[in-house]
A and B are shown apart, each in its own frame.
Chain A
Amino acid sequence: MYGDLMGIQSDTPESKNEQALIDKQALRTASLSEGSDRDRYLESHPLNQRPVKVLTESIKDAFLSVSAAIKFKRPGCAFSAKFRSGKSTALLMIKEQLPIVIPQVAYGLISAKDHDTVTERVFWGDLLIASGLITNGTAQDRQNRLRAAIMSACIQAGGKHFCLLIDEGQNWGMREYTFLRDLTNQLREQDGYTVTTIIFGDHRLDELSSIFREKRKDLWGRFVMKPKPFSGIRNISDLKFFLTEHDSPIRCEYPAGSGICYTEFFLPRAYENGWRLMNQTQFVWDAFTRAAAGVNRELTDIGMQWIGEAVIHFLTTQMENDVPEFSALSESWDEAVLNAQFVDSLI
């Protein structure tokens, strides 16, 4: 009490909470009030960066499948993704989330590269480059270094399990997957480490799976058995889930610690008055349906590129209309869908 009287800040939990509240309020004011601070925050807003990482039902499902594969120490699982469905972003998000949920496993993410002819040295070199490691030495040296990197990552995670996430898995053929199989065998048999391989690829991964099923059952069973479909927005329920994410600061908070969700950041007055992006689900779906119908196509699946761009365009263009009584027009969504060039993808 005397400290307060004398202007000295005390360190009690109550005073810390009070200070945190003051800081949060200051951050909110700076972010939501017109001015240079807001302009700066707007420029670096996650929705204005690439890739945009917002959770979808598909990513959630894939995450659960991947988590199960890891928990049960399965050799792996594969996902066959549709065109521009956001698989690379999904992989990034899954890779970021996995260490939080299953921390004792180490994770690595690579993008498979296609070569006309691939030697073992080139293959391991690609992986080392992707790992940010030096590529000195023979093929054997390179393979051993990669093996050491995997073990080192496991040691740091405190376990003996490594999960390798592979993007563009369709780019590898029998030879590459055989190299990878040998490495995982070596890690298991000689070193006692388990490797789970998660492969994301486009529709060609299904073809690869068929070929392996015919000719290389060992590779098929280990890497690409029955690829699960990975989509963008499949239905109105998926869309609602995706839009709802924008309305919650749990995973879509910006600036960090402000408690401001993406929707509130762009339309603070409307948000304060109860307006939510989630409630636009039908309008958005209808706008995409109309656009597809315009080129005589039926709406089955919306790639994340287009849905994401449409949402960003909508929020950005509606900023100037932000009032407590804000109400979105369906034309605004049509314009947003048009701007996202969704129709071009259908032709």
Chain B
Amino acid sequence: MNTGTNNSLGELVWCPQWNFAGEGPYTMAAKMLNANYLTTRYLRDTIRWKAGIGASLLNPQTNESESEPLATFGRILRQSSLASRIPNLYQVLADDRVLRYCTKCMRAGFQAAIAQIPGIDRCPIHGELHRNTCIQCGSKTPPYFLEDSSCRPGFSCRECGTPFGGDELIDRRFDTWISPGDVDRLDPIHRWLKQMDDSRQIHCLNLSSWSLTSIFSEDADEQKLRTIFRVLSSQSAGDDVPESDPENSSNIFGPYQLNQNKTSQDYTKVEYARTLFKLIGLPETWKYKSHLITPSFGVDVPTRAIVPPELHAKLILAAQFKQSPYTCGKVNYMAYFLQDVIPGILNTERFKFELPIESTAIAEGVFNAIWCAALKIAKIWNQTLIETQNGNSGQADINCLSTVDEWANRLGCWRRRSYFPIGVIKVQAPSTEEYQLYFVVS
């Protein structure tokens, strides 16, 4: 049946009206596969496939040998992907574990490629939150993958069948696949991302679930992506930079200029003494002695919520320096503190910071981050105690040492446990080759 229409995909049912500027490969693949009643496996020869996994839609790579029309469709998918838009940054900004969507966009069968960036919390077109769960049953959205199964990407929840757009099932309603609205609103973000991609190199260290202050969080990867996004956002000003939700954010300290050619700034004696006192000076614990236990790792731990988290944080902090050969009275030279103590704390067996942490500003940044991490851990521990005392937690009795042991990495000397709750992000502008450092506590 020669319809005489402009079908750019030859043997596949396709409509040029189904492809909008800024649209990502998820909805493009969903439209093509649903319109042609094909399973995802049909694309196996077009997109490079990992057996048992499939292909990430962040970076769908085409097999050039494939014949038309699939080769054309593979190129369309590729061009619409984040890897095509920001080849250097997509891996450190975007997530492919779950689909992220705006309900209003999905109503029109549209998902912007940039929705996969967790730092972009709101849809630039509608201002709606980017979600990664079903609005009805709360199940996680499907992976941002062409999966190695009979499933095909769709527009509704796989668990309860509720449309992501909320109104009606549009998987077979081809005339509902329309423009989601003013897609030009995506342009400023595209421009900004492109500019960042062209001008920034990012190196991350110790940004993982291992480095989180809480043992309960499951979103370490998302936290990492959000943090990097925030760091990049902080590097530029203007309307083009999207705002991210501060509630989901880590604490970021920086930027600190890291110019290796400069000679380090020395601490003054006063500054040095103040810093050491703040960090290492042991708190008065006698008042709460009956509410503290000393587990095998040798650092006092509160057993009742009545112990202020700030006090507990100081105990944790002091523990980090206790194990150092340079305790308060033994450090004879200020330079040792900067050159040996701080790197000594930072360098665990698990990873090594190969950064010249010498300047006052950077050392301050590290101090602040360490204090922030200790306080966060103490607050989370305090909250755990409250929940346990109220009987709202399913955990074992907090007095039980096994529970304390579970937290040993965080409550004891971090270095001895190869744990460190501070991540480092190093951003380099290739044009100037200048580095900037950020310390992150998640």
Q: Is the CB of A153 within 8 A of B175?
A: no
Q: Is the CB of B5 within 8 A of A156?
A: yes
Of chain B, the residue at the smallest CB distance from A192 is B175
**Among residues 5 to 25 in chain B, which have CB atoms less than 8 Å away from a CB atom of chain A?**
5-7, 10-17
A328 within 8 A of B: no
Q: Is the CB of A99 within 8 A of B3?
A: no
Given contacts A133-B11, A133-B12, A151-B175, contact A106 B37 (CB under 8 A): no
Given contacts A132-B11, A133-B13, A160-B175, contact A148 B5 (CB under 8 A): no
Q: Mark A143-161, 1 if CB is under 8 A from B, else 0.
A: 0111011111111110010
Determine the chain A residues whose CB is within 8 A of the CB of B174 once the complex forms: 148, 151-152, 155
Q: Is the CB of B15 within 8 A of A152?
A: yes
A108 within 8 A of B: yes
Determine the chain B residues whose CB is within 8 A of the CB of A157 once the complex forms: 5
Given contacts A133-B13, A134-B12, A160-B175, contact A152 B36 (CB under 8 A): no
Determine the chain B residues whose CB is within 8 A of the CB of A95 once the complex forms: 2, 4
Q: Is the CB of B1 within 8 A of A137?
A: no
**Among residues 122 to 173 in chain A, which have CB atoms less than 8 Å away from a CB atom of chain B?**
127, 130-134, 136-137, 140-142, 144-146, 148-157, 160, 164
Instruction: Say which size band chain B's interface belongs to.
Output: 20 to 34
Given contacts A132-B11, A134-B11, A145-B13, contact A107 B37 (CB under 8 A): no
Complexed CA–CA distance, A130 and B3 (Å): 10
Complexed CA–CA distance, A149 and B11 (Å): 10
Q: Is the CB of B13 within 8 A of A149?
A: yes
Q: Is the CB of A109 within 8 A of B37?
A: no
Q: Mark A161-191, 1 if CB is under 8 A from B, else 0.
A: 0001000000000000000000000000001
Main secondary structure of the interface of A (DSSP, over half): helix
Q: Mark B35-78, 1 if CB is under 8 A from A, else 0.
A: 11110001000000000000000000000000000000000000
Given contacts A106-B5, A133-B12, A148-B174, contact A156 B36 (CB under 8 A): no
Q: Is the CB of A107 within 8 A of B3?
A: yes
Given contacts A107-B4, A151-B175, A160-B175, contact A137 B35 (CB under 8 A): no
Least CB distance from A214 to B in Å reads 30
Q: Is the CB of B1 within 8 A of A110?
A: yes
Complexed CA–CA distance, A136 and B37 (Å): 9
Q: Is the CB of B2 within 8 A of A136?
A: no
Select one of A106, A137, A150, A155 contacting B17, CB under 8 A: A155
Determine the chain B residues whose CB is within 8 A of the CB of A154 once the complex forms: 175
Determine the chain B residues whose CB is within 8 A of the CB of A132 once the complex forms: 2, 10-11
Complexed CA–CA distance, A145 and B1 (Å): 12
Q: Is the CB of A130 within 8 A of B1?
A: yes
Q: Is the CB of B38 within 8 A of A136?
A: yes
Q: Is the CB of B2 within 8 A of A109?
A: yes
Complexed CA–CA distance, A133 and B12 (Å): 6
Q: Is the CB of B1 within 8 A of A148?
A: no
Determine the chain A residues whose CB is within 8 A of the CB of B37 once the complex forms: 137, 140-142, 144-145, 148
Complexed CA–CA distance, A90 and B35 (Å): 32
Cβ-closest 3 pairs across A and B: A131-B1, A108-B1, A141-B37
16 new A-B pairs (CB below 8 Å) besides A127-B1, A137-B37?
A: A106-B5, A107-B3, A109-B1, A109-B2, A133-B11, A133-B36, A134-B12, A136-B36, A148-B37, A148-B172, A148-B174, A149-B1, A152-B13, A152-B174, A155-B15, A155-B174
Which residues of chain A have a CB within 8 Å of any CB of chain B?
A: 95, 99, 106-110, 127, 130-134, 136-137, 140-142, 144-146, 148-157, 160, 164, 191
A-B contact pairs, 20 of them (CB 8 A): A95-B4, A107-B3, A107-B4, A132-B2, A136-B38, A140-B37, A141-B38, A144-B172, A145-B13, A148-B34, A148-B172, A151-B174, A152-B5, A152-B7, A152-B13, A152-B174, A153-B5, A154-B175, A157-B5, A160-B175
Which residues of chain B have a CB within 8 Å of any CB of chain A?
A: 1-7, 10-17, 34-38, 42, 172-175
